[in-house]
Amino acid sequence: MMEVSRRNAIFGAAALGAGAFLPQAAAASVTKWDRKTDILVVGAGLAGLTAAVTALRHGAKVLVIDKRMWFGGDGVLSAGQFYSARTKLHDEAGITKNVEVEDYWKQIQSGVDDEPLSKVRDNLRLSVIYSGVNKHNPEVLHRSAEYSPKVVEFVQSYGIKFRKMNPAKPFQCPTENGSMSRFAEGMVKEIERRGGKVLGNTRATEIVMEKGRAVGVKAAPTNGGKPVCIGARSIVIATGGFLNNKSMMERYKRFWSKIPTGFSAVGEGVPPDHTGDGIVMGKKAGAAVEDMESMPKLYAGPQKGTPGISWIMFDVDTAYLVTKAGKRITDEHQSRYSGCALKLLSTHNEVGYAIFDEKTFRGPNRDRWQFEKALKGGGLFKADTPEALASKVGVDPKGLRETIDRINRDGKVGKDTEFGRKDPLFRAMTPPYYITAANWPLAYKTEGGLEVNPDFNVLRASDEKPIPGLYAIGSTCGSISTRLCDVVASGLIVGVTAARK
């Protein structure tokens, strides 16, 4: 993941007084409302902001609240990598075969391109990974896949630039560094320009139900101000996951609850306020949940203060994962960043290291991975021999020598005799060699949440029928993955659906 400074990635919430909001007439209610609106979006991450913009474009009055003082959610800290079926980006790159929506869906179903679509189910370190879509209702994920080209088009409408696509990963659409903060800021500006409101420091505490329908939300300012009741025709819950809710993690994630959190480094890169508010409120309102016991999303990062290099590089550059013994443990290109972290855990390896050569270091993605910064800051090391490289980070020199020699022998004939890699990035390396600082497996986001139908209506636990007026999107929703493409797609879908109710 590229590093984004908090100052550049996060922008403060505008201070908006109660008088700035225009009430909307609603059906008779026994609750006394402090505010009313057509659509109330709870959570100002990328999913919530997308839903708000889309609903406003379709004529609804919208209010967005978030417990944070800044908007954009975790998405503004992400690498900004989207997935999509055929778009203009594909046409410009000459990638036009086998990239239609159903081709994309087949790739999702296979479960080989991106965790968390391959699920770990029994919460044990040595769990078998069941490939494919293990969601209760795959139609929800399929609908998000159908919307993927619209997601890319929507993101581009805010002036966001995408990097050149890699034919070996025909559905990956990476954006330029720092794009997601600009994307979020652009949505907030459009919301306000269209008459919507975005209120920070406002935490939802309860969904108000009347006669089986969601009619509003109770909320409290995080600074200790007076609680408010907000009435709405439709409630959209987009509050994220429950990574920092200890009781929920221990109940649902079990083994995985013990893994350190983080993204850019151990304990860093992920705000510590993922308390599952929307899921908790939804359950109290009678909502069903799904996928709660699946593995959280895994990443890997160095110790605090050490500049890291994202293992997303395994997608687009020649690099290999080794352990402290200097040995490879997986097909890095197929396992990707999350699968590599999982492999470290399942093989009882505490840390892992990425190794690569000068060609990769000088390649087209050097700025994307910020190699120079890592080299200067102790996150990356360089040497002419495997033994000298190993000594930089405490890796076994004999093991690393044997691994690099084998890679180079296999790479010359294009056959990985150890793990069967067949991708175009598998090749021999030439010195000088590079090795990252030690990276630890980290959990950075949970899977699982409120169960929904393909319109993202939340379903009741008692009869699996929609709860009128209640929607869940983004990481609060258990029926999609937490990838940016699916998160934004859910917002696009609900924005239209809720506005038309």
Say yes or no: 253 and 107 in one domain. yes
pLDDT of 23 reads 37
**345 and 255 housed in the same domain:** no
452 lies in the same domain as 409? no
Cα–Cα distance between 345 and 297 in angstroms, integer? 13
Question: In the predicted model, what is the mean pLDDT of the chain?
Answer: 90
* Residue 298 placed within a domain: no
Angle at 306 between CA 303 and CA 308, to 5 degrees: 95
Instruction: Tell me which of 408, 438, 468 is where a domain ends.
Output: 438
CA-wise closest residue to 87 among 169, 146, 38, 153? 153
Q: What is the pLDDT of residues 115-141, one digit of tens each?
A: 544 556 555 555 555 555 667 688 999
Among 140, 145, 158, 163, which Cα is nearest to 72's? Answer: 158
Q: Within this chain, do residues 106 and 178 fall inside the same structural domain, yes or no?
A: yes
Render pLDDT for 180-231 as a digit per residue (tens, 0 to 9): 999 999 999 999 999 999 999 999 999 999 999 999 999 999 988 899 999 9
Q: Are 289 and 449 in contact (CB under 8 A)?
A: yes
State how beta strands 353-357 and 449-450 pair. unpaired
What is the distance in angstroms between the CA of the first residue and the CA of the last residue of the chain? Answer: 39
| 100 vs 149: CA distance, rounded Å | 10
Query: Can you give the CATH number for the domain in which 376 is found?
Result: 3.90.700.10
Kindly state the average pLDDT of the residues 395-403.
98
How far from 200 is each of 219, 308, 421, CA to CA, in Å?
Answer: 11, 31, 48
DSSP 441-468: EEEEE---EE-B-TT-EEEBTTT--EEE
pLDDT at 129 (0 to 100): 56
Asked if residue 320 lies in contact with residue 328, where contact means CB atoms within 8 angstroms, the answer is: yes
Domain end, chosen from 396, 420, 438, is at 438
Q: Is the dihedral of CA 228, 498, 141, 70 positive or negative?
A: negative
| Whether 490 and 426 share a structural domain | no
Tokens coding 430: 């030439």
- Is there a domain that residue 269 lies in? yes
124 & 273 share domain: yes
Residues 328 and 277 grouped into a single domain:
no
Give residue 482's pLDDT band: very low, low, confident or very high (50, 70, 90): confident
Smallest CA-to-CA distance from 33 within 213, 198, 216, 201 is with 216
**Whether residue 276 sits in one domain with residue 135:** yes
Q: What element of type H or E holds 471?
A: strand 466-472
Residues 463 and 432 in one domain: no
Hey, CA dihedral for 141, 145, 146, 152, is it positive or negative?
A: positive
> pLDDT for 277-296, tens place per residue?
999 999 999 999 998 988 88
Question: Of 485, 452, 500, whose CA–CA distance to 50 is shortest?
Answer: 485
Does the pLDDT at position 378 exceed 80? yes
Q: What is the mean pLDDT of residues 468-482?
A: 93
Same domain, 124 and 196: yes
Q: State percent of the chain over pLDDT 90.
A: 79
Q: Do 310 and 352 share a domain, yes or no?
A: yes
Whether 9 maps to a domain, the answer reads no
Q: What is the pLDDT of residue 133?
A: 64
Contact 141, 108 (CB under 8 A): yes
Question: What is the domain-level CATH number for residue 206?
Answer: 3.50.50.60
Q: Tell me the pLDDT band of 21, cut-offs 50, 70 and 90.
A: very low
Label residue 480 by pLDDT band (50, 70, 90): confident
Q: Name residue 321's beta-bridge partners.
A: 354
* Residue 16 lies inside a defined structural domain of this protein: no
C-alpha dihedral sign at 77, 445, 240, 277: negative
The DSSP secondary-structure symbol of 18 reads G
In a domain, 24, yes or no: no
The answer to the question of residue 22 being in a domain is no
Q: According to the model, what pLDDT value does residue 8 have?
A: 35
Regarding pTM above 0.95, the answer is: no
Q: Among the three residues 389, 412, 438, which one is the final residue of a domain in this structure?
A: 438
Number of domains in the chain: 2
CA distance 4 to 179: 10
Which structural domain range is residue 324 located in? 303-438
d(CA 499, CA 345): 45
Write the DSSP string, 157-192: TTTPPBPPPPTTSTTEEEBPTTHHHHHHHHHHHHHH
Question: Span 33-37, mean pLDDT?
Answer: 97
Which region among 58-62, 272-276, 334-338, 359-363 has the lowest average model confidence (pLDDT)? 334-338
25: in domain: no
Is residue 340 assigned to a domain?
Answer: yes
Using pLDDT thresholds of 50, 70 and 90, give the confidence band for residue 25.
Answer: very low
Ordered DSSP codes for 261-328: BBSSBBTBSS-S----HHHHHHHHTTB-EESTTSPPEEEEE-STTSPP--TTHHHHS--EEE-TTS--
pLDDT confidence bin for 481, thresholds 50/70/90? confident
Give me the percent of the chain exceeding a pLDDT of 70. 89
Query: What pLDDT was estimated at residue 2?
Result: 34
403 and 254 co-located in one domain: no
